[in-house]
C-alpha cells in the first residue's frame, strides 16, 4: 500500500519569482519558496510602485489630437 504525502504548499499560490508551486509558510508571518530564494514577510506591506506621471498622458492626448488635426487638414 502506498501513501501519498500531501504537498507542503497545498492551497498556496505559485511563487511570483520562479512560478513554481513551492511557497511554504516558514513562520506565522513569513513565506518562502523551496525552489528559489524568494521570501516575503506578510506582516509588512510590500512597497508600492511609483505613481504614473499624469502629465505624460496629457502630452500623449495632445500629440494624438495634433496628428488627427493635421491629417484632416491635409486630406481635405
Q: How many domains does the chain have?
A: 1
Mean pLDDT of 36-52: 82
Q: Which residue has the higher pLDDT, 41 or 56?
A: 41
With the CA atoms of 10, 16, 22 and 8 taken in that order, what torsion angle do they form, in degrees rounded to the nearest 10?
A: -30
Looking at the domain assignment, is residue 21 inside a domain?
yes
Looking at the domain assignment, is residue 50 inside a domain?
no
Predicted confidence band at 18 (pLDDT cuts at 50, 70, 90)? very high
Q: Is the pLDDT of residue 3 over 90?
A: no
Contact by Cβ (8 Å): 23, 33: yes
Looking at the domain assignment, is residue 76 inside a domain?
no
- Residues 52, 58, 59, 64, CA torsion sign: positive
As a 3-state breakdown, the chain gives helix, strand, coil percent values, each rounded to 5, of 30, 15, 55
Q: Which domain holds residue 15?
A: 1-44
At 49 the pLDDT is 77
pTM: 0.46
Looking at the domain assignment, is residue 65 inside a domain?
no
Task: Collapse the DSSP code of 21 into the 3-class scheme (helix H, G, I; strand E, B; otherwise coil) and give the result.
Answer: coil
Amino acid at each position: 500500500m502506498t501513501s501519498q504525502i500531501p504537498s507542503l504548499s497545498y492551497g498556496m499560490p505559485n511563487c511570483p519569482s520562479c512560478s513554481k508551486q513551492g511557497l511554504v509558510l516558514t513562520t506565522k508571518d513569513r513565506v518562502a519558496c523551496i525552489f528559489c530564494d524568494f521570501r516575503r514577510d506578510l506582516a509588512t506591506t510590500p512597497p508600492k510602485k511609483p505613481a504614473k506621471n499624469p502629465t505624460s498622458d496629457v502630452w500623449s492626448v495632445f500629440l494624438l489630437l495634433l496628428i488627427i488635426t493635421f491629417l484632416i487638414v491635409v486630406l481635405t
